[in-house]
Chain A
Amino acid sequence: MSQPGTSQPNEPAGAERKLFLGGFLLALFITLVVCALELAGGMPAWPGLVRYTVALLALSLAASSPFFDSQKRGLLSWESAALVLTVLILLTAFLTGPEFNIMLAPLLVGFAQRYQDLGRFVKLGLAGFGLGVIEFLVFNWLGFKSVSGSAGINLLALAALTFSLANYLQHYYKRYQTLEDEAATKASEMEVAHEIQTSLMPPTTYTSGNWALAARSLPARNVGGDFYEYVFHPSLEDTISGVAIGDVAGKGIPAALQMAVVRTLFRVEARRRIFPSETLYSVNMALQAERSFGMVTMCYAMIDLTTNTLHLANAGHNYPLLLTENGLKEIGLPGLPLGIDDSIEYEEEKIRIEPGNSVVFYTDGVPEAMDREGNLFTFERFRTCIENHQHLKADDMVAALLEDIATFTQGAPQSDDITVLVLQFQPQAGKINQTDQLEEHYNFI
């Protein structure tokens, strides 16, 4: 089984073979046309070097896209190489005259590919030089003044040139293939990383007693630094007793790795059933021990199921929005993000939640989502969208809000991770009242 990027040199891919053949036939055709014109006496002696120039340009065209994408791949542009060679050949022609140019053309091409194969460089150079010398001696002996009319020798020289250029192309095509294979492998790994991260996230919808939760997280890349967490009650089975949302500075793999650390620290602290302010304090202290750890914003709301009250602490995260029948209210609780400084004390706020109320949590990717003109979605627009969807169930509300953002951005590349979490209080008839069961677990509040 062949490994990516290890194609055999003696088995050129179909595309390479076509390019090689195409370039060779094109050069042959140009040579024959020019030679025919010379033999017919229609052109002076000097166009011998023009022939090489045209051949080089033609070959460069044959070797151009879609097989080369120098901008994206960072390879030496084929066109640039051909241009440099053309200039060199023209310069040589001016300095030495057309005869020497014929000898030097393969030498120059060989020089251009010396990094690829020193042996081929020497062979081609010697072959070209040898051909030129033989041609010069033979034609001088025969009494001709110019060598440029020698169709056979020129054809050989041009064939060598073509061979050289095709090898040059083959070399870079292989590099292109290797890079493409590596990119495919990386994309595959990122896809797996995305699946792993998605599977580690809590479910996108969850109902716990009278509380409905819905959340979505859309990383800007395959993986991201946004996260949300449902905190399960340690004693009551399948009962949510808190929610958290966070945003690790940065994007991609570094942010994803740091996010995993923060989530773990948070889970450990949240299990202790301490107040949210203390939880954030403890997580921050633990993060201080981690060198080179970036900033993390986080909001944690613990639910007192006996009184339907949220105990909320915020470490620099976007203010949650409380949606009641009277409208939208921001739960303004400033706080330094985690990972910035040690010994930060966090304040806490208690919010009583009435039936039908929703609390919307979101990351900064929401207000800072950008359209194609660079306009921000803004806090104000997000608030308006929430108010427009105030009668929707939690899951539908999240979907509608993300749809609003998508409509606004009009397909512009996502600049930051986007996460929205909705916590809804939906008392339903027939639900077992867990209050009695819960009271003993909330004595600490």
Chain B
Amino acid sequence: MTLKVEQGNAFTIIHIQNDSVDATSAKEIAGIKDRMNQTTIMDFGPVMFINSAGISALLKLVIEARKQGKKLYAVNVTAHHRKVFEMVDMLRYMPIAKMEDLMPLISA
């Protein structure tokens, strides 16, 4: 598994455990759309590389989250991927935040 899902009462944290998000993890990402909570956080901690299949899967997930009225945040994103997320307009649907700033949402 390249993803580890942490479920709380009102939040879900999706930890990406591989250093790359590619076609393999894209399938897993597509499979978590039904497990998202009102607040869902995607932790990109170890991620060093995201290919186009990974970007595509992430975009489809964030658009699905928007349609479901859920809030999605990204944490631990590298500067390079921040730039990529911005260009593909992902930040509009999944802003990048610091984990400590999201703690009130998680503990609420």
Chain A contacts to B: CB under 8 angstroms: 247, 249-250, 294-295, 297, 314, 316-319, 332, 334-337, 339-341, 364, 367-368, 374, 376, 378-379, 416
Contact = CB atoms under 8 A, between A and B. Distances in A.
Contact of A336 (B52, B53, B86, B89): B89
Contacts of A341: 60, 63
A248 to B, nearest CB: 8
Contact of A317 (B49, B53, B80, B87): B87
B89 A364 contact: no
Contacts of B55: 249, 295, 337
Contact of B52 (A250, A319, A374): A250
Given A297-B88, A316-B87, A319-B87, A340 B59 contact: yes
Contacts of B87: 314, 316-319, 334
Contacts of B89: 316, 334-336
Interface of B: 48-49, 51-53, 55-56, 59-60, 63, 80, 83-84, 86-89, 91-92
Contacts of B59: 295, 336-337, 340
Nearest to A336: B89
Nearest to B86: A334
Contacts of B49: 368
| Interface class of chain B by DSSP | helix
Contact of B56 (A249, A317, A334, A379): A249
Contact of A364 (B48, B84, B86): B84
Nearest to B57: A295
Contact of B88 (A250, A336, A368): A336
B80 A316 contact: no
25 contacts: A249-B51, A249-B53, A249-B55, A295-B52, A314-B87, A316-B88, A316-B89, A317-B87, A334-B87, A334-B89, A334-B92, A335-B89, A336-B59, A336-B88, A337-B59, A339-B56, A340-B60, A341-B63, A364-B52, A368-B49, A374-B48, A376-B80, A378-B80, A379-B83, A416-B51
B52 A247 contact: yes
Closest CB pairs A-B (n = 4) = A249-B52, A295-B56, A316-B88, A334-B89
A100 to B, nearest CB: 51
A337 B54 CA distance: 13
A294 B55 CA distance: 11
Contacts of B83: 379
B78 to A, nearest CB: 10
B69 to A, nearest CB: 16
A340 B53 CA distance: 12
Nearest to A314: B87
A331 to B, nearest CB: 11
Contacts of B88: 297, 316, 334-337
Given A249-B56, A295-B52, 14 more contacts: A250-B53, A294-B52, A294-B53, A294-B56, A295-B55, A295-B56, A295-B59, A317-B87, A334-B88, A334-B89, A334-B92, A339-B56, A341-B60, A364-B52
A316 B80 CA distance: 15
Nearest to B51: A416
Contacts of A317: 87
B92 to A, nearest CB: 7
A318 B48 CA distance: 18
A367 B63 contact: no
A379 B63 contact: no
B30 to A, nearest CB: 13
Contacts of A249: 51-53, 55-56
B44 to A, nearest CB: 15
Contacts of A374: 48
A316 B55 CA distance: 11
Nearest to A363: B52
Nearest to A255: B52
A317 B56 CA distance: 13
Nearest to A247: B52
B86 A379 contact: no
Contacts of A379: 80, 83
A105 to B, nearest CB: 47
